[in-house]
Structure 1
Amino acid sequence: MEYLRTPDDRFERLLDYPFVPHYVDVGGLRMHYVDEGPADAPPVLMLHGEPTWSYLYRHMIPVCAAAGHRVIAPDLIGFGKSDKPTRIDDYSYQSHMDWMLSLLDQLALTRITLVCQDWGSLLGLRLAAENPDRFRAIVVGNGMLPTGDQTVPAAFQLWKNFAIYSPVFPVSRIIDAASFRKLGPDEKRAYEAPFPNRKYKAGARAFPKLVPVTPNDPATQANRAAWESLKQWRKPFLTTFSNGDPITRGGDKYMQEQVPGAKGQPHQTLTGGHFLQEDSPVAFAQAVNQLIATQPSQD
Structure 2
Amino acid sequence: MAVFEDVRQIDAGVLNVGYVDAGPADGAPVILLHGWPYDIHSFADVVPLLTDAGHRVVVPYLRGFGTTRFRSDDTVRNGEPAALGLDLVALMDALGIDSAKLAGFDWGARTADVVAALWPERCRGLVSVSGYLIDGQESGRTPLPPKAEFSWWYQYYFATERGRQGYDRNRRDFARLIWQTASPRWTFDDATFERSAAAFDNPDHVDVVIHNYRWRLALAEGEPQYDEVEKRLAGKPTITVPSISLEGDANGAPHLDPSVYGKQFAGRYEHRTVGGGIGHNLPQEAPRAFADAVLEV
TM-score, with length taken from structure 1: 0.78
Q: What residue is the counterpart of 2:248 in the other structure?
A: 242
> Are 2:139 and 1:149 aligned?
yes
2:182 pairs, out of 174, 178, 191, with: 178
Q: Does 1:158 align with 2:147?
A: no
User: What does residue 68 of structure 2 align with?
Assistant: 82
- The letter of the residue matching 2:272 is Q
Q: 1:270 to 1:213 in 2, by over 3 A?
A: farther
Relative distance call for 1:59 and 1:211 in structure 2 (3 A) is: farther
How many angstroms does 1:248 deviate by? Answer: 4.4
Structure 1 stretches lacking a partner, 5+ long:
1-14, 292-299
**What is the match of residue 210 of structure 2?**
205
Contact 1:17–1:58 at 8 Å: present in 2 too? yes
* 1:287 and 2:278 aligned: no
**How many Å separate the matches in 1 of 2:10 and 2:203?**
25
Amino acid at match of 1:286: D
Decide which moves more: 172-181 or 272-281.
172-181
CA offsets 1:11-55 (integer angstroms, 9 cap, x no match):
xxxx41144112111345321111111111221111111121111
RMSD: 3.0
**1:113 aligned to 101, 125, 136, which one?**
101
When structure 1 is superposed on structure 2, of 203-212 and 174-183 the one drifting more is 203-212
How far does the alpha carbon of each residue in 1:159-209 deviate from its partner, in whole angstroms, 9 at most, with x for none?
202344431333234224322212211112112212348875332333222
AA paired with 2:139?
A: D
Shift of 1:240: 1.0
Task: Tell me what 1:125 maps to.
Answer: 113
Distance 1:246 1:178, change over 3 A: closer
- Answer yes or no: is 1:187 the counterpart of 2:187: no
Aligned residues between the structures: 270
Match of 1:68 among 54, 57, 64: 54
Aligned amino acid, residue 88 of structure 2: M
Shift of 1:73: 0.9
Checking the alignment, whether the CA contact within 8 Å between 2:112 and 2:128 is kept in structure 1 is no
Counterpart of 1:257?
A: 263
Within 2, Cα distance between the matches of 1:213 and 1:253?
A: 27
| 2:237 paired residue number | 228
Q: Does the C-alpha gap of structure 1 residues 78 and 199 become closer, same or farther in structure 2, counting only changes over 3 Å?
A: closer
Q: What is the identity, as a one-letter code, of the residue corresponding to 1:149?
A: S
**Structure 2 residue identity aligned to 1:146:** D
- Residue pairs, 1:46-61, within 5 angstroms: 46-61=32-47
The structural deviation recorded for 1:212 is: 6.3
Give the TM-score taking structure 2 as reference length.
Answer: 0.79
Q: Distance in 2 between matches of 1:256 and 1:207?
A: 25
User: 1:277 offset after TM fit, Å?
Assistant: 2.1
Tell me by how many angstroms 1:103 deviates: 0.5
Distance 1:258 1:30, change over 3 A: closer
Counterpart-to-counterpart distance in 1, 2:17 and 2:26: 22
Supply the AA of the counterpart residue of 1:59: D
Contact 2:64 2:202 in 1 (8 A): no
Tell me the residue number matched to 1:6: none
> Conserved in 2, the CA contact under 8 Å of 1:34 and 1:74?
yes
Kindly provide the amino acid, as one letter, of the partner of residue 142 in structure 1: S
Comparing 52-61 with 87-96, which one deviates more in the overlay? 87-96
Secondary structure at the residue paired with 2:279? coil
In structure 2, the CA distance between the partners of 1:162 and 1:282, relative to structure 1 (3 Å rule), is: farther
Instruction: Identify if the C-alpha distance between structure 1 residues 56 and 204 changes in structure 2 by more than 3 Å, giving closer, same or farther.
Output: farther
